[in-house]
Amino acid sequence: MAPDPWEGCFWSWGLLLWLSVGSTGDAPPTPQTKCTDFQNANILQGTNLKAQFLLFTPSDPRCGQLVEESSDIRNSGFNATLGTKLIIHGFRALGTKPSWIDKFISTLLQATDANVIAVDWVYGSTGVYFSAVENVVKLGLEISRFLSKLLVLGVSKSSIHIIGVSLGAHVGGMVGHFYKGQLGQITGLDPAGPEYTRASLEERLDPGDALFVEAIHTDTDSYSYLICDHMRAVHLYISALENSCPLMAFPCTSYKVFLAGHCLDCFNPFLLSCPRIGLVEQGGVKIEPLPKEVKVYLLTTSTAPYCVHHSLVEFYLLELRNQDTCITVTFLSSSVTSSVKITIPRQQRHGKGIIAHPSPQCQIKQVKLTFQTSHRWKKERTIIIGKFCTAPLPINDNKKTVCLREPVNLQASETVSHDLKITCI
């Protein structure tokens, strides 16, 4: 089946890359401790916070060790020489444990050697959403007090990475604010919108909350809750941890402008180091100093592993026309097809767009071009002649551009196929 960025509830991904330039030993071996799971609550129990801190380690990724006091941490499998990652879930309407949390923890521990601490605040996040919002500051203070115990053990602020989901992203921002932006990294997975679209910088996740801040937005309908695209950010991130297929994004002013093919490289402002999702240092951005805030975009497939390759497709008309010209471009690779429609405005010769495909461009064997007409009820004999070209993103120079050798003749509503011969690099 074709990878279709418009299929299902999720069709795009946007990343706000927020950046602000701003003695230990191995833990002794400990006997197996009692494993603790997340709490369950109901809609009548959503006022008290009752936060728990559950430690998961590489040696026992399925056992959550309840660590509250400094003595608990010292007697656990916590390793102060490793990085520490805190996972903070969001609003829990039904008071249940997040369905994704176990997979997230195990995948994170497989991807990196670190201490993983899951913050269970199911009680405080259950019931009415606005009550959960009122608990954000309380939870932020409680997490900050917990982190202070880790710092006493020799953990550095820069080694702490908070991963917050939905409302949990703003909790992470609050913690970062309390630590004056000196924590290493905060990742916000589709930060909650309600009550936060007009919030002050002190009340929400913002660029100054850590040395490196990233926000992955996947909700395309104003953050309506219980919509599958809201949680797609979590599954995207898990997939990025599991797979080597890169989820690479491109800086652009808007998603519409990106789809139109106007943002083809990462030269400005990243000097060609395109950002990626996952546990890549500074998101793969290798420049110094880091820019403060940048919006970047990419396309995905509708199912895991979600990653695609992006290509620019262009068509140059031989003669001007007095009306818009719409052409559907389809890439074929084995049994997979990917399509995009490009429009050449009236009295212009050039149209372009971005097409997403799961295979590298050199594996695309054929391209199909269809001249679309608005008069479907009658047979048109209009023929256009032009030149077709394509290039994989990022396009740093014109050496990657491949054009069909012969001019393409397209008759309205008919499809023409051409072989693509692109060398794998």
pLDDT at 261 over 80: yes
Which residue of the set 230, 235, 310, 357 is catalytic?
230
Which residue of the set 125, 170, 190, 219 is catalytic?
190
3-state SS class at 372 = strand
Which residue of the set 125, 166, 311, 333 is catalytic?
166
Structure tokens at 356: 């997403």
Structure tokens at 173: 């921002």
* Residue 333 annotated among the catalytic residues of the structure: no
* Residue 102 annotated among the catalytic residues of the structure: no
Q: What is the mean pLDDT of the chain?
A: 87
Confidence of residue 12 (pLDDT cuts 50, 70, 90): very low
Query: What mean pLDDT comes out for the span 7-11?
Result: 28
Q: What is the pLDDT of residue 146?
A: 97
Q: What is the pLDDT of residue 223?
A: 65
Q: What angle do CA 296, 297, 301 make, to 5 degrees?
A: 150
Name the CATH superfamily housing domain 13-298.
Alpha/Beta hydrolase fold, catalytic domain (3.40.50.1820)
Q: What is the pLDDT of residue 45?
A: 58
**What is the fold, at CATH topology level, of the domain defined by 309-419?**
Lipoxygenase-1 (2.60.60)
The residue among 133 and 19 whose pLDDT is bigger is: 133
Cβ neighbors of 192 (< 8 A, separation 6 or more) are 90, 91, 166, 167, 169, 170, 223
Q: Does the pTM exceed 0.85?
A: yes
Domain coordinates in residue numbering, the chain: 13-298, 309-419
Residue-wise pLDDT for 150-205, tens only, equals: 999 999 999 999 999 999 999 999 999 999 999 999 999 999 988 888 888 888 99
* Residue 230 annotated among the catalytic residues of the structure: yes
> If 0-12 CB within 10 Å is exposed, 13-18 middle and 19+ buried, where does residue 176 land?
buried
